[in-house]
Structure 1
């Protein structure tokens, strides 16, 4: 229960009204004599000791920068998204129409250019009215309203309590008055009016006259006519009460009151008045979508950019500081996104796995990057970016890691990746070539069983060896093709037994290191750093763990750039509304693989396209690629690339990754597939994408590897007996393996 007021100070009682009248009259006399009337102040009239308390109030308005929306742009300057807490577009006073100025002055402060911050005449009139009737008439000048808005805005920025007009006591009003006087001494009338037009709220998150003009009428503030200006001027007194959308009848009445005030104050003619009041509200609502949910394009890329800024201490010492900068600092964020490539990717993804015709657990995403710079060119997926629950809705980004660099304090909003299946095999070939071996080496691809305890070289394991705990028999897709085959043909046909034959002659840790150095890592790490995928049998083919499409694109970009690994980049420049320029991550490229090794891998992955699982995905240009399917057919991939662009196309079950997640029999894009691998959906989706942008990427011929990498085709080795005990294999004793694929990766 509220405390009872003394009748001496309760203006609802006769005694209180008398006391208040004399008390406030005395105060007004003091203020008028010493502070409020510019002429008196200029004459140096001294304030008496009776107003010492007033002198002790703050006399300088601490105004921070106004909150402004941040905007994210693509590489051609087109808008991606607007991020804001307050939609505001600051403008100069000469960009406000005369009708808007006249309307605001007529209804809010007709003596604005005459008083010194507080309108004594208005205060006395309001007090007399309030004390002799049941009304609650206000007398705040535009300067006082400006002060009040600045105080509210500053408190919001500093997370302090905000005192709204209806809850102010006399102390609050006195402080506001004195600050208004101070502002009048610091700023010109036009500067105050300009500040006022830019700060006042009009509706919800719409602040300032320019944003209001665009929202309600889709015109600039300079184009506002009399009825439009009167409507906006009327809203300021009570944005909720006089909301044109929430209370159109009250809004219309209030607008006409403003138009009448304009006539009474001589700011418009009778003819203009009559014409204005005869119109309806004339709304042309044009809301500015907020944040990534309202992105014009690439909402998941928008989300990724947003997380990059929030994770980077260059934009503030704390997450809270960075959030304020992002949503209130008016940042201009220029990015690497290519709208044409993005549109092609999103179209292909939608046509392949539209969320309305695809089972909700099936996801599809596509991300592209430039190999020699790391620039992310597109990022698309088949869900609607919204936090609302429902089939086909998600704010989780299929393309990126859970955490940036494995740091749980730096979330990226990502799913964290998926098992890469046979797309991991090229890194085994890279390790093979790095060890001085050749693509045309013929290996024994026979089917064999590795008994429990069989060991492989593994320098990163205790004792330098890794032993398999259970017997294991790797098999090929369809349980066929167990023959002697060259390394290059083994990759082209994704033969697990040939990949295993390579592994038998390698250090398990070396191709793990090769993949990790190229950018392939566990996308779900929370250890504080990126971690490599497990590469011990039977996970040797698909990598034990989950890699994000962006990480996979980075790894294959290393091949395309001939061993140069470039970290993914999304930001080109970031500047704030106040002129500050922020440093963005520089292009960071490192030679992590010998050029000739990468050239050899490119030769092999080109054969995937000319004679392997990518045969039907060729587009007449020099392209390379690798399909991939994990165990149980729950995750499928196609990694397609040229010299100028690398794309990871993933399609899989984002809910289940084991046998429960098999996509066989699921509806995808309105079709049901009895059998699925990377060449059947993820691959054709990539071709759909790349065929839409034939001139948007570089596709020069790949550099042919030297003879030392290619080697010569030798006579096939004799089949070797199955190993009876742990031993290291040689060329003449080659085994095969399926890795984690029980149903086999046939792509």
Structure 2
């Protein structure tokens, strides 16, 4: 301290001493060379993610701070801070020489250490620390400072006093100082410790906060309540001594306890108010997008320090209903840990993501039922491995993929009522299919292949319309025999369905092969499947999924968000024809028990191993993928697994995923558009087959058109037993 005073005196008080001696002259030169302009960056503020109704989803921050103006600070808080830290604040010019010499005398003559930094110096010190933290510079705390550090701080304090008014400096001080590990500024501290605004702090509360500033951990009322109480009372004594409160006010405040009402602001998606997996998806979209910074570090800084207000497309009413349905179906407390259940909904015609829910608890803690991986989305954004989405990357879609084969069928000029041979079961080795996107333009199988229908039944001649309603694999393959295998994959890809595990740097189609006509040919995420069916609902208009509506910073800066991106990828009449078939699923097929009283369409799906099951349900205003499966072991059946407190000996898409979707939809009547689907033109539907003639009273001899041929062998590697 005495060394500091010597240099300070030489630099400030006796500039004429430069001619009197080398020591004084050197001190002046050193002081003159110190920087005289304080570099102040924007203070870190939390970013907040909101749903489409303005309700909070989550708060993300490095420093929880809520900047306010000085007139929003309680006079008690100002009095308490000045009394304990800098009672001569409004009298000095940034450096209090009287205070410095008083501190020297006190420190020499007593066993108590007394500081001499003014509030202006403390403000400068906090600004320097904040700037260095933001820029990755060296951070020097009070106990580590050299004489040079203190002199730099003093000179900057003098400069700040010339630039800003006393009230402006005090306002900045109240907004920057730390009160706990992540709580900065008096407003955030008031809300955290007492759940009141800074303008409403009482004398006792203000004294407590003023005392904490001197050592946020050492005097923490949470960690060290007795020490904090003693420090608060010391502040109250100072307020009384300086005439800032009366004896009566002092005694009343001292008589109170800490009276904390801890109200933490939960940080990140772990602490989300709602939709934590959607929160994580939005977070990743921002971190992956160079519109929010040139580098990942820049984007991370903006997200966690930039005070962003991020408004999203999430619909809380629909979200809460979906989450409730999921919880009733597969609550993690009553469901085996490997069984996942999720729902995601998009709005046809806009691509807005309205729902993103799942049955696990969003937390990194390793325990059954916990996961930070998102069941609903791709592993990487647009197949770019540098753009992580924290998604599992999807699952085998099973028969939910069949409508795209029907779309390819209709797009080729054929009709829904065309009759096909569903009795054909075995394809011999060497059998080929048209596949224009593959080398040689053909796809050949090397071994005999015998796919079977669900339940190993219904091998009959019937229409394409009935084949989809009954989910007949042999009818789907009969369609593929007359098509180009690449056609339906290309149509699905254009509609938004793609390989959810792609890491090639771009989106990829699912595999092109005959089984993919009713199994997908890979893994697709629920979000991409919901997008594909939304394309049907919107008469062939595909809209890229959207989660962001607007992004604004606290200073009013508006950041661009991805614009609505829609394209007509399918002829209207083709999509309308598919909608006829998927509506038939609900009235005559596996969805017959899933009707909800408004026009809906849908499709169930189950993969070979019964490890992944789906229901795709949609109306003109809402397309939802409901998935339930074994997310830890793709080829391990869910049969005999505990799901919602029950064991199921055999599972398909209509048994759990479908009813869970119905549970969701029945909770939100009138919350989504459900107009009648437009009817397709007659050339899409085609001529309905003549009704079957009544059977004769006695069977004709030697006639058994529907008897199984007996050729039921299959290759064992791909049973294709999809519903």
Flag whether TM exceeds 0.5 (same fold). yes
Structure 1 residue 76 corresponds to structure 2 residue 56: no
DSSP-derived class of the 2:433 partner: strand
2 CA distance for matches of 1:352 and 1:737?
37
1:397 equivalent among 374, 390, 395: 374
Question: For the Cα contact (< 8 Å) 1:440–1:713, is it kept in 2?
Answer: yes
1:137 equivalent among 114, 130, 135: 114
Give the aligned partner of residue 505 of structure 2.
528
Structure 1 residue 713 corresponds to structure 2 residue 688: yes
Give the aligned partner of residue 675 of structure 2.
700
Give the aligned partner of residue 317 of structure 2.
340
Question: For the Cα contact (< 8 Å) 1:599–1:703, is it kept in 2?
Answer: yes
Structure 1 residue 478 corresponds to structure 2 residue 458: no
DSSP-derived class of the 1:252 partner: helix
DSSP-derived class of the 1:77 partner: coil
Cα gap change, 1:606 to 1:110, in 2 (>3 Å): same
**For 1:350-499, what aligned pairs fall within 5 Å after superposition?**
350-499=327-476
1 CA distance for matches of 2:9 and 2:297?
46
2:294 equivalent among 317, 334, 337: 317
2 CA distance for matches of 1:329 and 1:534?
43
Give the aligned partner of residue 624 of structure 1.
601
Question: What's the CA shift for 1:150?
Answer: 0.5
DSSP-derived class of the 2:467 partner: helix
Question: What's the CA shift for 1:96?
Answer: 0.3
2 CA distance for matches of 1:649 and 1:450?
33
Give the aligned partner of residue 519 of structure 2.
542
Structure 1 residue 26 corresponds to structure 2 residue 1: no
Question: For the Cα contact (< 8 Å) 2:449–2:714, is it kept in 1?
Answer: no
2 CA distance for matches of 1:86 and 1:547?
38
DSSP-derived class of the 1:602 partner: helix
1 CA distance for matches of 2:669 and 2:273?
24
Once superposed, what is the RMSD of the aligned Cα atoms? 1.8
Give the aligned partner of residue 585 of structure 1.
562
Question: For the Cα contact (< 8 Å) 1:446–1:736, is it kept in 2?
Answer: no
DSSP-derived class of the 1:345 partner: helix
* Structure 1 unmatched runs, 5+: 1-19, 36-46, 718-734
1:247 equivalent among 194, 207, 224: 224
1 CA distance for matches of 2:444 and 2:722?
27
Give the aligned partner of residue 131 of structure 2.
154
TM-score, normalising length: structure 2:
0.94
Question: For the Cα contact (< 8 Å) 1:563–1:598, is it kept in 2?
Answer: yes
2 CA distance for matches of 1:716 and 1:53?
104
Map Cα deviations across residues 649-694 of structure 1 (whole Å, 9 max, x no partner): 0000001111xx1001100000000110000000000000000001
1 CA distance for matches of 2:158 and 2:425?
92
Question: For the Cα contact (< 8 Å) 2:489–2:509, is it kept in 1?
Answer: yes
Give the aligned partner of residue 263 of structure 1.
240
**For 1:29-108, what aligned pairs fall within 5 Å after superposition?**
29-33=9-13, 50-108=27-85
Question: What's the CA shift for 1:279?
Answer: 0.2
Question: What's the CA shift for 1:577?
Answer: 1.6
Cα gap change, 1:543 to 1:716, in 2 (>3 Å): farther
Question: What's the CA shift for 1:409?
Answer: 0.5
* Structure 2 unmatched runs, 5+: 16-23, 693-710
Question: For the Cα contact (< 8 Å) 2:364–2:372, is it kept in 1?
Answer: yes
Cα gap change, 1:649 to 1:461, in 2 (>3 Å): same
Cα gap change, 1:50 to 1:249, in 2 (>3 Å): closer
2 CA distance for matches of 1:313 and 1:28?
48
TM-score, normalising length: structure 1:
0.91
Map Cα deviations across residues 357-409 of structure 1 (whole Å, 9 max, x no partner): 00000000000010110000010000000011000000000000000000000
1 CA distance for matches of 2:6 and 2:274?
62
Give the aligned partner of residue 687 of structure 1.
662
**For 1:100-139, what aligned pairs fall within 5 Å after superposition?**
100-132=77-109, 135-139=112-116
**For 1:485-524, what aligned pairs fall within 5 Å after superposition?**
485-524=462-501
Map Cα deviations across residues 460-501 of structure 1 (whole Å, 9 max, x no partner): 111111101211001111111111110001000100000000
DSSP-derived class of the 2:593 partner: helix
Question: For the Cα contact (< 8 Å) 2:384–2:504, is it kept in 1?
Answer: yes
Question: For the Cα contact (< 8 Å) 1:541–1:740, is it kept in 2?
Answer: no
Map Cα deviations across residues 109-142 of structure 1 (whole Å, 9 max, x no partner): 0000000001101111122333455543211100
Question: What's the CA shift for 1:737?
Answer: 13
Question: What's the CA shift for 1:573?
Answer: 0.3
Question: What's the CA shift for 1:738?
Answer: 9.9
1:200 equivalent among 132, 152, 177: 177
Question: For the Cα contact (< 8 Å) 1:441–1:487, is it kept in 2?
Answer: yes
Give the aligned partner of residue 634 of structure 1.
611
Moved >6 Å (runs of 4+): 735-741
How many aligned positions are there? Answer: 697
2:547 equivalent among 567, 570, 588: 570
Cα gap change, 1:472 to 1:278, in 2 (>3 Å): same
Question: For the Cα contact (< 8 Å) 1:477–1:743, is it kept in 2?
Answer: no
Map Cα deviations across residues 56-77 of structure 1 (whole Å, 9 max, x no partner): 1000000000000000000000
Question: What's the CA shift for 1:744?
Answer: 4.8
2 CA distance for matches of 1:746 and 1:575?
47
2 CA distance for matches of 1:738 and 1:627?
24
